[in-house]
């Protein structure tokens, strides 16, 4: 896991810088800065709206005496997408928007569920039942 974090720390800034250069060449520096600020603001608002919706759905399921497992994974996707939207850059914004947007979120939810299932099978994640 640590090696992946080290790779991300090196690769993400390089990719984001390349994205800024490409967008600035096509649109200009001023529009690029405006676009960066606009995506951060829109992403923050979208994260807030979707996060509230996920919390309301989880609360409704808990009030109905159900475990909100699927909803909690959706909440993790919204949170992760929100973090990516706050990081300045176009590539992270693209991934963040797809994680927050309800129509594309199931793709990430499926990947996250597979990853968690693999970790449970390996024994690196354990859970307790009552």
The predicted model scores a pTM of 0.80
pLDDT in tens, 90-108: 899 999 999 988 899 899 9
Residue 68 banded pLDDT, cuts 50, 70, 90: confident
Q: Is residue 66 part of a domain?
A: yes
Number of domains in the chain: 1
Residue 54 lies in a domain: yes
| 127 in a structural domain | no
Is residue 128 included in any domain, yes or no?
no
Tell me how crowded residue 96 is: count the other CB atoms within 10 A of its CB: 25
Residue 73 lies in a domain: yes
Q: Which residues constitute the domain of residue 71?
A: 1-121
Please indicate, yes or no, if residue 130 is contained in any of the structural domains: no
Is the residue at 48 inside a domain? yes
End-to-end CA distance of the chain: 31
């Amino acid at each position: 896991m640590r090696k992946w974090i080290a790779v991300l720390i090196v690769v993400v800034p390089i990719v984001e810088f390349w994205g800024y250069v490409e967008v600035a060449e096509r649109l200009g520096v001023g529009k690029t800065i405006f676009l960066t600020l606009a995506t951060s603001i829109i992403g923050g608002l979208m994260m807030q709206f979707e996060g509230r919706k996920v919390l309301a759905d989880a609360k409704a399921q808990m009030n109905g005496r159900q475990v909100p497992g699927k909803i909690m994974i959706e909440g993790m996707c919204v949170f992760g997408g929100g973090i990516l939207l706050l990081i300045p850059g176009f590539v992270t914004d693209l991934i963040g928007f797809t994680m927050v947007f309800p129509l594309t979120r199931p793709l990430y939810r499926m990947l996250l569920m597979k990853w968690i299932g693999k970790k449970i099978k390996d024994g690196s994640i354990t859970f307790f039942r009552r």
